[in-house]
Amino acid sequence: MTLSGKAWTWVVAGLLAVMFLGTACVEGVGEFPAPVEEAPVPGVTDDEVVLGTHTSLTGPVAVYSQIALAINAYFEYVNETKGGVNGRTIKFLIEDDGYSPPKTVDLVRKLVEEDRIFALVNGFGTPTHLQVVDYLQENGVPDLFVATGATEWVKDPEARPMVFGSIPNYVGEGIILGQHIAETYPGLKLGLMSQNDDFGADGMTGIRRGVGDALDIVGEETHEVLDVDLASQVDRLHAAGVDVIAIWATPQHFATAVKHARLNLNWDVPFVLSLVSANELTVLLAGPEVIEGTVSLGYLKSAFEIDDPDVAKHHKLVQDYMGGENGNTLTLYGQYIGELVEESLRRAGRDLTREGLIEAAESITDFWCSICLGPVNTSPTDHDPVQGGFLVRAEGGRWVRFGDLVTYEGVLPGDMMVEDLTR
Amino acid sequence: MDLFLQQLIGGIASGSMFAILALGIVLIYRSTGTLNFAQGQMAMFSMFVAWSAMSTGMGFWPAVLLTLLSALAMGALVEWLIVRRVEGTSDLNSLIVAMGLFLIFDGLALYIWGPLPKSFGPFSFFSGGASCVGGVCIGRLNLGILVVSIVTTVLLYLLFQCTRFGLALRATALNRLASRLVGIPVGRMLSTGWGLGTAVGAIAGILAAQSLGLDIRTMFFVVLFALAAAVLGGLDSPVGAVVGGLIIGVVKNLAGTYTPSSVGSIDLAVAFAVIVLVLMVRPNGIFGRPVRMRV
Amino acid sequence: MFLVAFPFLHEWPFFRLFLGEYRTFNATMFAVWLLVLLGMNLLTGYSGQVSFGHAALVLASAYLTAVLSQQYGFPLWGAIGLSGAATAIVGWVTIGIPAVRLRGPYLAIATFGLMLAFPQILKLNVLTQWTQGALGIRGGVVEPPGFLGDVLDGREWMYYVAMSMAVVMTVLFLNLTRSRTGRAFVALRDSEVGAEQMGVDVPKYKALAFGVSSLYAGIGGGLFFAVQGFVSPDSLGLIDSIFFLVAIVIGGLGSVLGSIVGALFLTFQSEAISALAGFVPGANNLRNVFYGASLIAVIVLFPKGIAGFFQRPLWPKLRGWNLGRLWSSRS
């Protein structure tokens, strides 16, 4: 060691200062000496239960912050009109990770260890939530109704008992849409387009299973999140002579694909798309004429159904508690999550424990939330609350339901999921 | 062959979008040496200005004109108010300022216009169907993008090469001290450089909005390719920016098309491998002037 | 040495009260970021090269650690060391040597390309048997060795390991920067031509700086996997990569203190912005404006970074150096 004495002092002082001033002082010097009498259940007091979430209030996908804000609005509504659940008001902490996984880890651990939340609700984003899902498992924190349809959340409830899905999982959704393709376009040529990650891979697994051998798959294209548009991919499918396209992409990407096909290629190939992009964002980005006739899946009522009393009530909720103008697909989804959490808390009873909440959340039977199109069912082997919906077709900038309620329940039973989906 | 031509057209169309944004980046780099990471978000901000103007009932072209003027003012103001504060410290500091601007414009747009995308275009001659020859098609959308890109490039070229004002801009970029000595108002030229760069960025934004839609994240990823294009062509060369943008657009499309599917998708990796290879041969980009080294 | 790394081991209950669970995790992540930023600082602050691609190196090493420890049964600490060494060699040979001719923004964007392309490479079909594609690799909780099992829990053990690695590497860093090699780095940062005239083998030292810097990134990356217990192609993104550079410039180039301040910045940024937005009601949508404005304010007030302001220069000669000389063609 060639360090001089002075430098040693400097290194040690610097690091110690950082280790202790940087950490302890943030907490407030007044707090540390008193051994805190730990509440038996984190986040639960006599009159309050604290829940938390991580979402993107900023960053490229900031638009999805509407979901968390709508959940919060619904909780405020429950607190005000019903006095909370089982005599406890709900406090909802929203942390902004900007869609960056290391920040998600920081903030979720802060929620759990500093803010002592009772449960995490509707964590947003597959890459972000993947980074914390096992942390929540290991620490026994309920991880309710994650805001994506990745099969990671639902494929093995025994290995990950804490985590629940919320939207139809992408494989299941793919199966339903694949079956629709098989029935509508038998014998034709199918092209696949998907995002190069779990989201796309899950969707394509489902589509393949749903289609079976009814169509020839003649083209498979993937794209990255940071691809600007999907024109090149669409051109390739066009050249391959595809008759129908199944696409798993974000609204932004889907909009560029369908716009390119219609406007630059004069190609009115039918698109079948994931429900992730069957919403107002796509309509605004691509325009109503361009998306006309595209088919997807819907499992909640739509924002345009203002004659429906529950949807009207939702718009009022958004105006009163969110300060927004009108609800949309994202806020409707937020209310659905809010109602699902309310139902789980109600079932868990007055004596709240984390185990009790998990038991409650996996024993929901035949629950119809006010804006649901089908029943919510869960069990200890089924953490996938909604397993189906109605096919929807774009007409004048709205995705309108057609046909009967379709489900992948039974097609994709618990055991089968674990084996078939572990890639 | 049809597929090849179609991919070429697509690559040129998306490449010209990168090229125009890269052109803005180059103009700003030449002015203050700032590698402007905020270029995309500033263009996005301008797109929203255009949308706001149109939502008051203004026509498309008047709104574009208003947007360009406001972008010019915005860029000049940013240089005068903010960038000048770190002038003469270190170019890494101006990079931090650019990151700060990136966040500020991102946040401001979110605050003013909310997170939902806006309905925007295609307008004017961008709208309409495609014309096909055999299996190769070109739509009004792509054609419009190409035409506007070419017009922008030519106008800028004329501005720089055929006017006294352009000469002054070039002189400032080359040698600030000497420019000051011959009586060029250097400070004003730097602001103008930023203003021009931002306005050119706004054009790129309006082109992008026609084909990608108007959203806070529309330019989030375009700017990455534009930065790469600017570097590939040479950061002090406007011609280089255009060439670089086109190369990246075309290479990415062709790499995506001709990679065997068993490998998986690799177009980004190929595009950046090409950039690195070119920089190996020409460390200052294809058209960049070498950095003069001194003790 | 032992006391520095394990300052309060003999008083562990005190330690536990002092920090709390979450602060222990913060301090652990601080150590990880410190390692990464020491490497960044060596590269940028000492040898004058700019990289936007360090997150790719961190990610690569995290993956290597994950594959070695989860699939080939290497002990975790061995895997971290091995990955660090491998990353150093990769950084030296495949990035450092080609980068010798590139300067300033050209090098920055070329390395940025690495970060853009790397997640796509991790997801290539031919590699998924090791990388598990987009799903990533899980690590699980690291338990302390038996003889410490009664005293420490997993996260405290992780903290001591990470922090002692950070301290050891900091000491090595100081030694390196004061050695002949370190002075050669500084010389070529200040002026490549001047360094060459003084007999410094410029290409060799530039590549070497990249190698050493990659070593730090690699060890940081291995620890990143151990601490987070998970790595996927999206674990570190473009923005993270850019913010590594932002962190050292804000912290202060050319000093250990700068890296420490930068690591504090990375550790506490999300919490700080959250708190800032909490002061102003209804300011959720303005978060990024606050964030951006603070960055600009800091760099305007402290042009040499926060460390540069608080610290007496260790090498008086270095006062007033200007990296800009290497950055642009302006004379």
Tens digits of residue pLDDT in A370-381: 999 988 999 998
User: Which positions ≥6 away from C10 have C-beta within 8 Å?
Assistant: none
Report yes or no: C296 at the B interface, CB cutoff 8 Å: yes
User: Cα dihedral sign for A262, A267, A268, A270?
Assistant: negative
Predicted confidence (pLDDT) at residue C198 exceeds the cutoff of 50: yes
Predicted confidence (pLDDT) at residue A394 exceeds the cutoff of 70: yes
Q: In terms of CA atoms, which chain B residue is nearest residue A324?
A: B114
Specify whether A83 is located in the same domain as A194: no
Under the banding of pLDDT at 50, 70 and 90, the label for residue A19 is low
Measured between alpha carbons, how far is C119 from C241 in angstroms, rounded to an integer?
A: 13
Tens digits of residue pLDDT in B112-127: 998 889 888 788 778 7
Specify whether A79 is located in the same domain as A196: no
Measured between alpha carbons, how far is A97 from A56 in angstroms, rounded to an integer?
A: 6
The pTM (predicted TM-score) of the whole model is 0.89
In a domain, B278, yes or no: no
Specify whether A266 is located in the same domain as A349: no
CB of A74 closer than 8 Å to CB of A150 = no
Burial class (CB in 10 A: 0-12, 13-18, 19+), C39: buried
Partner residue facing B275 (CB), from C110, C243, C304: C110
| Residues of chain B neighbouring C292 (CB-CB closer than 8 A) | 99-107
Pinpoint the alpha helices (H) of chain B: 2-32, 39-55, 60-81, 91-113, 140-162, 164-174, 176-181, 186-212, 218-233, 238-258, 267-281
Contact between chains at C175 and A14 (C-beta distance less than 8 A) = no
Q: How many domains, in total, are found in chain B?
A: 1
Q: Please give the angle made by the CA atoms of A180, A181 and A186, to the nearest 5 degrees.
A: 120
Report yes or no: A60 at the B interface, CB cutoff 8 Å: yes
Distances (CA, A) of A158 to A154, A192, A420: 10, 33, 16
Tens digits of residue pLDDT in B72-95: 999 999 999 999 888 877 888 989
Which parts of chain B have pLDDT scores under 50? Answer: 295
Q: How far is C232 from chain A (nearest CA, A)?
A: 8
| Residues of chain B neighbouring C237 (CB-CB closer than 8 A) | none
- Per the structure, the complete domain to which residue B170 belongs is given by 18-216
Under the banding of pLDDT at 50, 70 and 90, the label for residue C314 is very low
Predicted confidence (pLDDT) at residue C133 exceeds the cutoff of 50: yes
Measured between alpha carbons, how far is C32 from C196 in angstroms, rounded to an integer?
A: 35
Contact map slice: B 265-284 vs A, CB within 8 A: 265, 267-268
In a domain, B154, yes or no: yes
In a domain, B294, yes or no: no
CB of B291 closer than 8 Å to CB of C325 = no
Q: What token pair was written down for A106?
A: 């920081």
Specify whether A146 is located in the same domain as A230: no
Report yes or no: C164 at the A interface, CB cutoff 8 Å: no
Q: Provide, rounded to the nearest whole percent, the portion of chain A with pLDDT above 70.
A: 87
> Which pLDDT belongs to residue A13?
53
Measured between alpha carbons, how far is B133 from B274 in angstroms, rounded to an integer?
A: 31
Specify whether A406 is located in the same domain as A287: yes
CB of A57 closer than 8 Å to CB of B115 = no
Q: How many domains, in total, are found in chain A?
A: 2
Q: In terms of CA atoms, which chain A residue is nearest residue B128?
A: A263
Q: What token pair was written down for A25?
A: 């002082």
| Residues of chain C neighbouring B264 (CB-CB closer than 8 A) | 123-126
Under the banding of pLDDT at 50, 70 and 90, the label for residue C189 is confident
Measured between alpha carbons, how far is A386 from A388 in angstroms, rounded to an integer?
A: 6
| Residues of chain B neighbouring A224 (CB-CB closer than 8 A) | 265, 268
Mean per-residue pLDDT for A44-49? 91
> Which pLDDT belongs to residue A291?
92
Q: How far is C1 from chain A (nearest CA, A)?
A: 10
Tens digits of residue pLDDT in B42-52: 999 999 999 99
User: Which positions ≥6 away from A39 have C-beta within 8 Å?
Assistant: A45, A116
In a domain, B258, yes or no: no
- Per the structure, the complete domain to which residue A184 belongs is given by 170-298+391-420
| Residues of chain A neighbouring B139 (CB-CB closer than 8 A) | 260, 263-266
In total, chain B counts a number of residues equal to 295
In a domain, B109, yes or no: yes
Contact between chains at C26 and A23 (C-beta distance less than 8 A) = yes
CB of A116 closer than 8 Å to CB of A44 = no
Q: What is the DSSP letter of A111?
A: I
In a domain, A34, yes or no: no
| Residues of chain B neighbouring C50 (CB-CB closer than 8 A) | 92
> Which pLDDT belongs to residue A313?
93
Residue A69's CATH number: 3.40.50.2300
Minimum mean pLDDT among A33-37, A140-144, A290-294: which range?
A: A33-37
Specify whether A119 is located in the same domain as A175: no
ipTM confidence: 0.91
CB of A369 closer than 8 Å to CB of A376 = yes
> Which pLDDT belongs to residue A72?
94
